[in-house]
Homo-oligomer: A and B are copies of this chain.
Amino acid sequence: MSGFDKRVYSYEEAMDGIESGMTVVAGGFGLCGIPENLIAEVKRRGVKDLTVISNNCGVDGFGLGLLLEDKQIKRFYASYVGENALFEQQMLNEEIEVILTPQGTLAEKMRAGGAGIPAFYTATGYGTPIGEGKEVREFNGRHYILEEAFHADFAIVKGWKADRYGNVVYRDTAQNFNPLAATCGKITVVEVEEIVEPGELRPDQIHTPGIYVDRIIQGTFEKRIEKRTVREG
């Protein structure tokens, strides 16, 4: 059994092996479903010159925004980075290189990396600055550009429940990029709210099969809300 018991019991162990200069892909959309404790551990370790792939860069003082404080990020692939004053400042100072990537292309590049698809064509970005320098090709009279897959040294992922084999389910819209990030890391680390016994998750309802997952850790989460919007009850 031991070979499939992927549980670790400290965040230090969870991020063991991460080094300066590595590429890290992180799940999450805004502050929803972000691997908040794994990010905090990356900050604690002080590794530098990271290339980070994630839809957003958190906010000042939370989520991936934490990694800006000590300038740990060298390059950032994202679709939207407008929620973060420190990010803006480092971008303007050219301390951080930002490669803006359309949201769907970002997701598909993660999936492709995990799925052994080195590149695919998409109409997204054709005729825009995003298409510049990329191969253009016509299929059935429409123009598409070639996009290549993402690969990362570490994938950091936030799940809801997992078993020790690394089978993971996500809750509601906290799923977002997480299952895609999980597929394209050399080492994939998933933090979850609850570790359950094997067999408790229905096999045909698992979002991320354990084969993609190297380490599982149970944590507690702040789950900060970025834009609390309510109606009268």
Docked complex: A97-122 residues within 8 A CB-CB of B: 108, 112, 115-122
Quick one: which of B108, B119, B142, B205 contacts A121, CB cutoff 8 A? B119
* A139 near B119: Cβ-Cβ < 8 Å: yes
The range of chain A's interface size is: 20 to 34
Minimal beta-carbon separation of A153 from chain B (angstroms): 16
Whether a CB of chain B sits under 8 angstroms from the CB of A140 is: yes
Interface-forming stretch among A60-68, A88-96, A167-175?
Answer: A167-175
Contact A121 B123 (CB under 8 A): no
Residues in A31-72 with C-beta less than 8 Å from chain B: none
Q: Name the prevailing secondary structure of the A interface residues.
A: mixed
Bound-state Cα–Cα, A205 to B175, Å? 11
* Inter-subunit contact B204/A171 (CB<8 Å): yes
A108-B117, A116-B122, A170-B204 given; 12 more Cβ-contact pairs under 8 Å: A108-B115, A112-B120, A117-B120, A117-B122, A118-B140, A119-B139, A119-B144, A120-B120, A139-B148, A169-B204, A171-B204, A172-B204
| 5 A-B pairs closest in CB distance | A118-B139, A120-B120, A119-B121, A117-B120, A205-B205
Q: What are 19 A-B interface contacts by the 8 Å CB criterion?
A: A108-B115, A108-B117, A116-B122, A116-B123, A118-B121, A118-B140, A118-B144, A119-B120, A119-B121, A119-B137, A119-B139, A119-B144, A169-B204, A170-B204, A171-B204, A172-B203, A172-B204, A175-B204, A205-B205
